[in-house]
Amino acid sequence: MAESEPLLSRARGGSGRGCPEGLPARCSVQVGPGAAWKDLCLEQAVVFIEDAIQYRSINHRMDARSMWLYRWYYSDVCQWILSFVIFLILSLAFIETPSSFTSTSDARYRAEPWHPPCGLTESVEALCLLVFTADLAVKSYLVGWAQFRKSLWLLAYFMVLVLSLVDWMVSLSLLCQEPLRLRRLLRPFFLLQNSSMMKKTLKCIRWSLPEMASVVLLLALHLCVFTMFGMLLFTGEKQDDGQDRERLTYFRNLPEALTSLLVLLTTANNPDVMIPAYSKNRSYAIFFIVFTLIGSLFLMNLLTAIIYNQFRGYLLKSVQASLFRKRLGTRAAYEVLSMTAEGQAHPQGAGVKAQDLLQALQKVQVDSTRKQALLEKVRAHGHGLLSANDFQKLFNELDKSVTREHPPLPEYQSPFLQSAQFLFGHRYFDYLGNFIVLANLVSICVFLVLDADILPHNRDDFVLGILNCVFILYYLAEMLLKVFALGPLGYLSYPSNVFDGLLTVILLVLEISTLAVYRFPHPGWKPEMQGLLSLWDMVRLVNMLIVFRFLRIIPSMKLMAVVASTILGLVKNMRAFGGILVVVYYIFAIVGITLFQGVIKVPGNGSLAPDNGSAPCGSYEQLEYWANNFDDFAAALVTLWNVMVVNNWQVFLDAYQRYAGPWSKVYFVLWWLVSSVLWVNLFLALILENFLHKWDRRGNLPSLSGDLESTHDTSTVDLLFREVLEEPTEEELMEKLRHHPHLQWCR
């Protein structure tokens, strides 16, 4: 049988005349028997439905071989391999020279790092670049040349690959002795281009930059004005004058004064910067208080508000576009399935056979729970035809939360067993368990306070050992009684029970091991080293696990459940924001290594620094910050983290100014702006959006842990705006379909 032409591909020489308005035209080439036509219709519908579920664009090739390649490319295995390759190429920064394979980053104690032989990391990198080349080739083929030329991301992908390959060849030609590896700065692009949500987030950030820049300019003006005031105010008259000490320490020249007030804007050097002048005259405090009020409390919080407002608005636009892609995909699937099995179209508006939709859904790759709910909805419709509106409503089910069906409870004949089942399956039994866990935690806290000043080998752990045995026996009994009441499968269907049961088994194993080694608790029961662990170490392990078990009370408290669900929502939605942060950290770390590697030198001879008593108080040397450097990739990441927190970040500004030059301040100020000002405020915006979304729904939150866990929550960024999104109109969808680059629609 000859290969069929794509059902919706652009006809070669055909105009599509003679078909109903709004329906895809038949290809001008003979398609073949009716069965082949129907199979092609179903395959295209499957692809369109999967595109809708994943919010993907439908602007790709739709012939049989291209659809096979498309589905293979988006399969879990292929995407996992691609994600692993991205992780692998990013991880090379820890291995490449300068290697991070040392036990410490402290310049005083750090051993000579391992230098990988030339060609080792380059070979791994070459394999990764080959995978990315194949990835670009597949994407380019699927979207077509016309779409490839219009896609800035694909063009940038091509340029990054070309530059990386050229730089890779330069490295080999120089025997890996090149001073700069440009391709290391380009590697985060592979992470960006593989995530649609990260692209969306990056676009939102770019759209929000003009509004952010206006407030940053206000901050800069605020800094400049108060810097000039400070330079004029703290002139000093004599060497022991407070004004003179203020000037010499913080306002010696314009760059120093600007740096001091910039650090004060983050409150990192408050009140140190004020003390010299304030000690001389209390009225000088007005200058610093007014500066902090305007800068830290007004302008910085105004920046947070603007970032939240603008970012939310642009994110809403992006989510609206995602909803349009979803509706477009389902509408395209409807148009395909409206063709008959013999390739003839139904009369206008006739609809889709429910049986055809069932066949397509069977092949769709989606969560099994949601697929089953969707199949049941279609079967409930009967054997009639689905209209476009009914078809769209069916797929709205994917946006709803699906309640898991727990296995049926075991049936007992004895009235006594039935009563016991009711008792141990009741929510009050969970409350009792929460109370016991709270009592256990209180007992641990009491013994931590009582034994705080006693050395481990002098402690009498008799009472604590008895209490641990009693509580663990209760946890074991609770687990067995719940299994009796709910049945083994019913017990395991609740995530909280799985968590509790796993901890109970681990606690039981540790307790049995403790009793086997140290015997049953008795007066004078003291820890002695037996093998790797002492008795106290075993008891600490048990108690730490009990603290984890205390988390079970969170779902039982309404307000705590709101906060906990907000945290879970953040974890689900943080992949894009976390990815952006990884990209920023990676780029700044590579730039930091290039600029500052080896500039921090330990003074004196030998491996140890001399006594730091002569170093100025609060300096890099006196605080022994030697481990904070840019001598390798891992150390650079930790240093950037410490600067992002902005506690004592003036120490880094001062040290690298002395060791590398005054221009180094530009690097750290840029990092502060990108990480602490921009990204932290974006993260705060996401927290607010998640919390407000959960808080508005708090009345519908179930109060019981079992009920809370039985709901399959689909909370993602797009669902945060579900109530305010506008549904696309029929005309918008059909107009977009008619302009599809690989589909020929009737006019």
pLDDT of residue 35: 64
Q: Does residue 10 lie in a domain region?
A: no
Q: Is residue 735 part of a domain?
A: no
C-alpha to C-alpha distance for 314 and 207, rounded to whole angstroms: 7
**pLDDT at 612 exceeding the cut of 60:** no
Confidence tier at 633 by pLDDT (50, 70, 90): very high
- Shared domain for 545 and 522, answered yes or no, is yes
In a domain, 730, yes or no: no
- 130 with 212, same domain? no
Percent of the chain surpassing pLDDT 70? 76
Q: Tell me, yes or no, whether 134 lies in a domain.
A: yes
What pLDDT shows up at residue 349?
47
Instruction: Let me know: does 671 contact 585? Beta carbons within 8 Å.
Output: no
Same domain, 163 and 252: no
Whether residue 50 lies inside any domain: the answer is no
Which long-range contacts link 471-475 to residues 24+ away (Cβ below 8 Å)?
471/436, 471/440, 471/546, 472/504, 472/507, 472/508, 472/511, 472/542, 474/436, 475/500, 475/503, 475/504, 475/507, 475/549
Residue 726 lies in a domain: no
532 shares a domain with 551:
yes
pLDDT digits (tens, 9 = 90+) for 493-540: 887 788 888 888 887 887 787 777 777 776 766 655 455 456 556 666
* CATH number reported for the structural domain that contains residue 252 in this entry: 1.10.287.70
Count of beta carbons in the 10 Å neighbourhood of residue 174:
11
- What integer is the mean pLDDT of 562-583? 72
In single-letter form, the type of residue at position 205 comes to I
Checking if the pLDDT of 146 tops 60, the result is yes
- Which long-range CB contacts under 8 A does 387-395 form with residues at least 24 apart? 387/349, 387/351, 388/331, 388/334, 388/349, 388/351, 388/730, 390/351, 391/330, 391/333, 391/334, 391/351, 391/352, 391/357, 392/327, 392/330, 392/331, 392/334, 394/357, 395/49, 395/52, 395/326, 395/330
Name which of 265, 458, 335 is nearest 62 in CA terms.
335
pLDDT, the chain, mean: 78
* Same domain assignment for residues 151 and 267: no
Same domain, 465 and 552: yes
CA-nearest of 186, 152, 153 to 167 is 186
pLDDT, tens digit (0-9, with 9 covering 90-100), for 595-607: 999 898 887 644 4
Q: Report the range out of 82-91, 451-460, 707-716 with the highest average pLDDT.
A: 82-91
Q: How many angstroms separate the CA atoms of 287 and 270, rounded?
A: 13
Structure confidence at residue 632 (pLDDT): 92
Across the range 112-136, mean pLDDT stands at 92
Measured between alpha carbons, how far is 108 from 627 in angstroms, rounded to an integer? 8
CB burial of residue 428 (10 Å; 0-12, 13-18, 19+): exposed
Print the domain residue range for 524.
415-556
Q: What confidence tens digit (pLDDT) does each residue in 375-406 have?
A: 888 887 777 788 888 888 888 777 665 556 77
Tokens 């369109």 belong to which residue? 48
Q: Please, which pLDDT band fits residue 553 given cuts at 50, 70 and 90? A: low
Distances (CA, A) of 70 to 149, 472, 597: 20, 53, 45
Q: What pLDDT is stored for residue 594 in this prediction?
A: 92
DSSP structural state of residue 530: B
Residue 520: CATH number of its domain: 1.20.120.350
> 284, 318, 352: which is the final residue of a domain?
318
Structural domains of the chain, count: 4
Is 541 contained in some domain? yes
d(C-alpha 704, C-alpha 683), whole Å: 30
473 and 516: one domain? yes
Q: What percent of the chain has pLDDT over 90?
A: 21
Distance of CA 520 to the CA centre of its chain: 47
Please write the tens of the pLDDT for every residue from 437-495. Answer: 888 878 878 877 877 677 666 666 677 778 878 888 888 998 899 889 888 888 888 87
Q: Which band of pLDDT confidence, cut at 50, 70 and 90, is reported for residue 636?
A: very high
What amino acid is encoded at 671 in this protein?
A: W
Q: Which of 25-34, 134-143, 264-273 has the lowest mean pLDDT?
A: 25-34
Claim to verify: residue 423 and residue 549 sit in the same structural domain? yes
Residues 571 and 641 placed together within one structural domain of the fold:
yes
At 10 the pLDDT is 34
Q: Which pLDDT belongs to residue 580?
A: 86
Residue 333 forms beta bridges with which residues?
none
Q: How far apart, in Å, do the first and last CA atoms of the chain sit?
A: 31
Per the model's pLDDT, the better-predicted residue between 215 and 341 turns out to be 215
Answer whether residue 75 shows pLDDT above 70. yes
Q: Per the domain annotation, does 680 fall within a domain? A: yes
